[in-house]
Structures are given as C-alpha cells and as structure tokens.
Amino acid sequence: MSHPHCRQIQASVHDYLDGELPASNAEIVSEHLQFCPDCAYLVQFESAVRARVRECCSADAAPPELRVRILTRITQVVTQVRVTYRERPDDVER
C-alpha cells in the first residue's frame, strides 16, 4: 500500500465496482486509482474475476427446483436472524 488511505479505498472496491458508492466517494476512489498502482491493480483484478465469472456462468440457469429451495431456505433463515444495523460513514478520506 503506497498511500495512507489505501485500506479505506480497498475496502470500498466492491461497492465501487457495483456502482453502489455515492458519487462523491466514487470520484475519490477514481482519483486515488490514478496515482496508486496497488489499488488500481486490485480494481483491475476484481474486474477481471467478475468478467470471468460472468463469462463462465451466464449461460447456466439454475433449475427451478433449486431456485425454490434457495428462496425457501432464505425465508427460513431471515425469520431466525436478528440484524443489527451499524451506520457506515459516507465519506472516504483521501
């Protein structure tokens, strides 16, 4: 890590790639990637992995029975889980 805030940037990589960061935070990450080869490599690597998974798995559809089993199990688990909400700060430091 070549920059003091690389950990924060790297923790945001998945949200960044998913387009889930607020615009101001996405801009900060984009700017950081321009001068930090370590973080830029991580983003490139994660993007390549995602592309490969899409390429390998996009033609395969789950059987309807599996879909029903998964949704049933999720419903069962959700009713048993207690979620604790912890607010995440919106600002990523440079």
Question: How many C-beta atoms surround the C-beta of residue 46 within 10 A?
Answer: 15
Structure token pair of residue 38: 């370590």
The residues near 67 (Cβ < 8 Å, ≥ 6 apart) are none
Structure token pair of residue 30: 């984009």
Whether this prediction's pTM lies above 0.75 is answered by no
Share of the chain above pLDDT 70, in %: 81
Mean pLDDT in residue range 52-68: 83
Provide the 8-state DSSP code for 28: H
Q: Where are the domains of the chain?
A: 6-80
Judged against a pLDDT cut of 50, whether residue 94 lies above it is answered with no
Torsion sign over Cα 60, 65, 66, 68: positive
**pLDDT (tens digit per residue) in 4-43:** 789 989 999 999 999 999 999 999 999 999 999 999 999 9
